[in-house]
Amino acid sequence: MINAVVIGVGGRMGSRIAHWITMTEGIQISGAVEGYGHPMVGHDVGEIIGRGRLGVVITEKLEEVIDKGDVLVEFTHHEATVAHMALAAQMGKPMVIGTTGFTSQEMEAIRGYAGTIPCVLAPNMSVGINVLFKVLRDVAKILGADYEVEIIEAHHNQKKDAPSGTALKMAQIISEALDRDLEKDAVYVRRGVIGARRKNEIGIQTIRGGDIVGEHNVMFVTEGERLEFIHRAHSRDNFARGAVRAAIWVVGKPPGLYDMQDVLGLKE
């Protein structure tokens, strides 16, 4: 039986991950963590997620429960995640990270810690989205430079980072497939008299409103036609199930930075 510690258990994703852990064979919750002063701290996690008492009390300190886990699953804030990964590396605990919004310096730190522990880092753990990642790579290579790329993402009005980590991952995949530099080619805002579109631009646009779980639309556009790929998430459960799948997969793997393509066996 794999013991999992869920960090950020009171959040939109963390609570669903905790729920799906209790519904999945071969894995169980051994620890639950929330931020300082969070109203759920001190409560049994099972009662919070509607599964009855599990005997696992939500704590403010990862240090209090990290030794109870075989794997840590984290959906929190980027600064907190890096601090937690430092502790995980010190304790030799594998991690699954769905947090987004990391700075370049934080990503360097994550890569460094992944030299000590195995870590699945993925902005979106949906199986469907990760199949789409593979499709986008292949399509970009086939269509080549003659097609202009635009990405539009939409999420609920409480999402803190923009564009979404998923949209940025899509842009990175397409940029690499086309042998481009995303730092130079990404366009996040268009306003005023901006002139004609640059040939290598990759547009990444953001919508925020209501309770949209997540929607991503990728367009390959050329003279006379447009090819579109759309993924709509109707519930967070598809992300949560993917995270649980990743948590089971990463235990026992050698140190390294993995993604859901590795978990799903989609890497060439």
Q: Which of 38, 78, 134, 159 is catalytic?
A: 159
List the Cα angle 89/73/117 in 5-degree steps. 25
From the candidates 19, 84, 93, 155, which is the catalytic residue? 155
Residue 155 is a catalytic residue: yes
160 among known catalytic residues: no
Which residues are part of the catalytic machinery? 155, 159
